[in-house]
Amino acid sequence: MDMTADSQALRDLDRSHHFHPFTDLRDYAAHGGRIVNRAEHIYIYDTDGNKMLDGMSGLWCCNLGYSQHQIVEAIYRQLQELPFYNNFFRCSNQPAVELARALVEITPERFNHVFFTNSGSEANDTNIRLVHRYFDLLGKPNKKHFISRKNAYHGSTIAAGSLGGMSAMHAQVWGLNYVHHINQPHWFAEGGDLSPEEFGVKVARELEQKIDELGEENVAAFIAEPIQGAGGVIVPPDTYWPEIQRICDERDILLIADEVICGFGRTGDWFGSDTYQIKPQLMTFAKAITNGYIPLGGVMISDQIADVLLAHGGEFTHGLTYSGHPASCAAGLATLQTLHKTNIIQTAADNIAPHFQRRLRELESHPIVGQVRGRGMFAAVELVRDKGSRERLAPDGQAAVYCRDRANSNGLMVRQTGDAMITAPPLVSSTAEIDILVEKLHQALDETAAHYGVN
């Protein structure tokens, strides 16, 4: 078979008929893209025969890489037994029940209920529905407002896009009028002369100011990722989360932890909330719950909220055809069983993540690297022209786009956010594979420095 001709034909069909997510559609129609057709362990292969080390775990999903046959078999077995039945009208299915129980076991004691969705976006929409119902039932119908953070990503439905704080999305989404944004704890970009610790407290107190501005009686919840992922792996200063927790506790504001990226081992624990010892009343999950193999998301609901919904009764008028899809839940169960059996979260935290973080930090001596930050198995490398003034190499994140393209051409899949290179490799990577990732990134940085005349 002539792979090149095949590949070209596929790419032509793709750019003729397929609108891609978060893509410049005119540019894509003109130039097309890469068709990935096979994956193994931590490597992806495209129809042109290129092999790439996947430094993004799919899209922050395949924490266990691509060769987890027991998850595939669990899906296959389930599809043979019961390919679908809905969870409406007093019906349930065994994998959904068992996965609910398994999730309750790995989350803190106060979580005893789960609502399943197909995606993180729908799970965050569900959070809004749950929070509004909760306060309505408590007789506090004015508590409808949400506070989120600039540059946050919480999904792409209208509601989740509103919760998110990406300005490019807001330019295209006529957002909800009850969502408000405060600054993110991005010390490198916005910390000025403050120490990270001082900056952490300052930016956390913006939550308090926003609550005062809106009136505590009107504010329902604050939503945030423990570490902001798509927004640039923004690792908060250690002072940040304790201050946020204090404010939420004192002011009768629910805390929602969006664990879509942080969850299932990325930060070194089961959840980012464990890493930062925060006590959210709701936790959003998706992506790595099935190792990315099949869509599934959901919300963990703490007793504080569940008890109110249970005690008052009445229909919770929310649901998705595929809430608790048996095949998705079977995949989730197989993934959790694998995480338990292999102890990979702990192994990666003890052996791989320290190596990953240490090797990446060596890049701080590179002439165009201003900062390397990260925790567990994700990190960001900030590009600058001048380390002292933090002047950027080019406007609009163009240098990082260039660097990403160089890395991709060299066989490394990483992504870019603003002026930062982002990487989040699978937890099953070996130290030798991490070394290859860092070498390839180093090479892309060299090529970027040369392109922008920095040496």
Contact residues for ligand PXG, defined by CB under 6 A: 59, 119-121, 124, 153-155, 225, 229-230, 258, 260-261, 286, 297, 415
Closest CA to 201 of 168, 162, 242: 242
Torsion angle, alpha carbons of 352, 356, 358, 363, to 10: 170
Q: How far is the CB of 56 from ligand PXG (least distance, A)?
A: 8
Closer CB to ligand PXG, 229 or 426, in the complex: 229
Nearer to ligand PXG, 258 or 419 (CB): 258
The tokens for 344 are 């990979």
Distance CA 214, CA 218 (A): 6
Tell me the two tokens of residue 184: 């993110």
Q: How far is the CB of 397 from ligand PXG (least distance, A)?
A: 13
Beta bridge partners of 292: none
Q: Which is nearer to ligand PXG, 286 or 427 (CB)?
A: 286
Q: What is the 8-class DSSP label of residue 227? A: S
Q: Which residue is nearest to ligand PXG (CB)?
A: 120
Please state the closest distance from residue 402 (CB atom) to ligand PXG, in A.
Answer: 18
Amino acid, single-letter form, for residue 407: A
Report the alpha-carbon distance of residue 267 to residue 76 in Å, rounded.
30
Least separation, in Å, of the C-beta of 383 and ligand PXG?
17
Q: 22 or 89: whose CB is closer to ligand PXG? A: 22
Smallest gap from Cβ 154 to ligand PXG, in A, equals: 5
Please state the length of the chain: 455
- The residue among 124 and 323 lying less far from ligand PXG, judged by its C-beta, is 124
Which runs of E-coded beta strand occur in 57-127? 111-117
Query: Which residues, at least 6 apart from 169, have a Cβ–Cβ distance to it below 8 Å?
Result: 156, 161
Start-to-end CA distance of the chain, whole Å, equals 46
Residue 235 or 260: the one with the smaller Cβ distance to ligand PXG is 260
| CB nearer to ligand PXG: pick between 262 and 449 | 262
List strands edge to edge, sheet with 43-46.
36-40, 43-46, 51-54, 412-413
CA-based angle 438:442:446, to the nearest 5? Answer: 175
Report, in Å, the least distance between residue 125 CB and ligand PXG.
9
Comparing CB distances to ligand PXG, the nearer of 30 and 168 is 168
Give least dist CB 415 to ligand PXG, A: 6
In angstroms, the Cα distances linking 177 to 127, 136, 146, 181, 225 are 16, 18, 10, 11, 21
In whole angstroms, the minimum distance from the beta carbon of 62 to ligand PXG comes to 13
Residue 92: CA atoms inside 13 Å, Cβ hemisphere, count?
9
**Cα Rg for the chain, rounded, in angstroms?**
22
